[in-house]
């Protein structure tokens, strides 16, 4: 993870990490799908956050999109 200070109240962070998904197929057999995900996060002030990122699942060959806003408490 890296962090860049934009101004006195704003920071830009980058996060990346592994995840796992467990999927049931039509025959109720569990499949494991490893996932790599990353996101850019802009923090403004003490608790406002906006983020944008993506993920890739090796197990099912799928891309995902992450985005949103929120607060840290």
Residue closest to 70 by CA, chosen among 50, 41, 53, 54: 50
Quote the number of domains for the chain: 1
Using CA atoms, how far residue 67 sits from 28, 39, 64, in Å, is 31, 8, 10
Q: Which residue range is the domain that position 34 belongs to? A: 2-71
What is this structure's pTM?
0.70
pLDDT tens column, 9-66: 899 999 999 999 888 888 999 988 899 999 999 988 888 999 999 999 987 889 999 9
Residue 38, CA atoms < 13 Å, CB-side half-sphere: 6
């Amino acid at each position: 993870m890296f962090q860049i200070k934009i101004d006195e109240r704003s920071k830009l962070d980058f996060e990346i990490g592994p995840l796992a998904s467990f999927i049931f197929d039509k025959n109720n057999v569990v499949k494991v799908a490893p996932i790599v995900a990353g996101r850019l996060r802009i923090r403004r002030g003490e608790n406002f956050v906006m983020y944008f990122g993506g993920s890739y699942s090796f197990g099912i060959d799928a891309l995902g999109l992450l985005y949103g806003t929120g607060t840290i408490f």
